[in-house]
């Protein structure tokens, strides 16, 4: 483990932490134990940062958590939280601070969730209601069993613009995850991915779903199936036939509707397929990949700084100058500063992980606290650390690296009264045991 401090002419500093591994086989994907506190944590992010920055973009945002013991009719869905979101979106609107119910089922579910302290409402200025589930997916890395290394990894659904459909919930991780040839999460948006083949070759290249298997049958995109995803479309084009909504490695809904809303966390497959909600989905074609991850933009490719966004993201900078990924990415490659995490390979093909400390959001002291890094800065830090290929992982308030359970740098989120560090729950991490 190394810690390096960069000093700048204006008196600011930047600390980075570097972890070097012997092989890609050491890296595992970790899904933390879900915490009920995730609901309040994400509501607090909206309350403190997102809504105050752009209140004209938000209406009544209702965030809710569905306890495991609450019964909910699934209907055509294979996911309890999606089914609950569909019921509440159809059956509840907010009139000021008061919910108005349009069905007895919606009223009953709302009252149950309210009695269990499982609803949070954050208000902007728009006269609209948006109801979004906070999935039972996110947990704290510090509460997981000790490991040699733990670091947050993937972007995940967090922005309201990525929750336009009932299929999307806060906390859903995005992008390709491959371990030993098995796809644990499919690629999305055609973004770049860091791929390590079983012969040790490392590359960064765009990846997309080209084929998939459901119930033992292979569906090839453009041949016997069509795939619709964002950002090109918000809905499928009007057409007859069966449509499968797929998120991760599961069919979450099956419908014959003419048009279907496309989730930001997945895609819609149109095919003559005898699938049912809940059916598993297999993604062939990655058998030669020992390790693969698709998160943010590349920052180094074959020793050269990328210097610009090559991966596709939504870009609504003219609407919302708040840099929150995953799909919204209204950042400036050379100006936007934040805590950053990078994963890459050195000249020998061995993995290197780097954490660039972010600026404290409360009580920042120039010269004592890090200023935060741009993506251009991050590329330079990675080059200085000997990386030749590197990609940007999830950063911001989520960014942290723990070695044997301890942080050597500081989190950027702080408690308002004490200035103490505040950890965010995340759905996915990289770990070395």
Sign of CA dihedral 38, 43, 45, 50: positive
pLDDT attached to residue 303: 95
d(CA 55, CA 35): 28
Residue whose pair of structure tokens reads 């992010």 in the numeric block = 45
What's the pTM value of the predicted model, to 2 decimals? Answer: 0.93
Mean pLDDT on 337-359: 96
In sequence order, which ranges of 26-167 are alpha helices (DSSP H)? 38-45, 51-53, 80-91, 104-115
Phi, psi of 195 (to 5 degrees): -120, 130
pLDDT attached to residue 323: 36
Provide the 10 A C-beta neighbour count for residue 147: 17
Kindly state the tokens that stand for 263.
């989730």
Q: Per-residue pLDDT for 350 more than 60?
A: yes
Q: Per-residue pLDDT for 330 more than 80?
A: no
Mean pLDDT on 380-399: 96
pLDDT attached to residue 192: 93
**Helical axes 104-115 vs 80-91, angle rounded to 10°:** 120
pLDDT confidence band for 322 (50 / 70 / 90): very low
d(CA 8, CA 225): 54
Q: Per-residue pLDDT for 317 more than 80?
A: no
Coil/strand/helix, residue 130: strand
Count of helices and strands (H, E) across the chain? 5, 27
d(CA 328, CA 156): 11
According to DSSP, residue 74 is labeled: -
| Average predicted confidence (pLDDT) for the chain | 92
Kindly state the tokens that stand for 16.
């980075």
Residue whose pair of structure tokens reads 């909910």 in the numeric block = 72
Q: Per-residue pLDDT for 119 more than 60?
A: yes
Among the listed residues 310, 299, 281, 254, the one whose alpha carbon sits nearest the alpha carbon of residue 395: 299
Mean pLDDT on 11-33: 97
pLDDT attached to residue 117: 97
d(CA 91, CA 70): 18
pLDDT attached to residue 156: 93
Mean pLDDT on 303-317: 76
According to DSSP, residue 421 is labeled: B
Kindly state the tokens that stand for 84.
């609950």
d(CA 336, CA 376): 10
d(CA 87, CA 72): 9
Provide the 10 A C-beta neighbour count for residue 117: 12
């Amino acid at each position: 483990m190394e810690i390096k401090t960069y000093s700048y002419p204006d008196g600011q500093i930047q600390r980075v932490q570097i972890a070097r591994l012997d092989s890609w086989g050491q890296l595992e994907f970790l899904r933390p134990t879900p915490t009920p506190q995730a609901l309040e944590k994400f509501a607090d992010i909206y309350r403190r940062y997102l809504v105050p920055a752009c209140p004209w973009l938000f209406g009544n945002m209702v965030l809710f958590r569905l306890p495991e013991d609450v019964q909910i009719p699934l209907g055509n869905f294979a996911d309890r939280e999606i089914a609950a979101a569909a019921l509440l979106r159809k059956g509840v609107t907010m009139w000021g601070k008061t919910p108005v119910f349009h069905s007895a089922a919606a009223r009953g579910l709302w009252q149950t969730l309210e009695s269990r302290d499982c609803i949070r409402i954050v208000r902007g200025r728009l006269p609209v209601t948006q109801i979004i589930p906070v999935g039972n997916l996110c947990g704290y890395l510090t509460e997981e069993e000790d490991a040699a290394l733990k670091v947050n990894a993937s972007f995940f659904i967090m922005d309201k613009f990525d929750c336009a459909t009932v299929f999307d919930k806060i906390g859903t991780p995005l992008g390709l995850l491959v371990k030993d040839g098995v796809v644990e999460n499919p690629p999305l948006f055609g973004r770049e991915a860091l791929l390590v083949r079983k012969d040790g070759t490392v590359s960064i290249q765009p990846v997309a779903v080209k084929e998939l298997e459901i119930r033992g049958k292979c569906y090839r995109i453009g041949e016997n199936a069509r795939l619709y995803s964002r950002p090109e479309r918000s809905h499928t084009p009007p057409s007859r036939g069966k449509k499968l909504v797929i998120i991760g490695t599961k069919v979450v809904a099956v419908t014959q509707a003419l048009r279907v809303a496309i989730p930001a966390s997945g895609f819609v497959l149109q095919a003559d397929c005898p699938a049912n909600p809940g059916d598993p989905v297999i993604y062939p074609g990655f058998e030669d990949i020992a390790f693969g991850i698709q998160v943010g933009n590349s920052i180094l490719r074959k020793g050269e700084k990328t210097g610009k966004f090559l991966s596709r993201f939504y870009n609504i900078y003219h609407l919302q100058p708040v840099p929150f990924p995953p799909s919204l990415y209204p950042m400036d490659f050379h100006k936007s500063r934040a805590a950053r995490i990078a994963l890459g390979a050195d000249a020998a093909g061995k993995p290197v992980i780097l954490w660039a400390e972010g600026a404290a959001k409360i009580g920042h002291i120039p010269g004592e606290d890090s200023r935060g890094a741009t993506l251009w800065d991050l590329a330079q830090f990675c080059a200085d650390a000997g990386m030749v290929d590197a990609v940007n992982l999830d950063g911001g308030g989520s960014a942290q690296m723990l070695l044997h359970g301890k942080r050597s740098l500081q989190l950027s989120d702080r408690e308002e009264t004490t200035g103490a560090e505040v950890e965010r729950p995340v759905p996915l991490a990289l770990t070395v045991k």
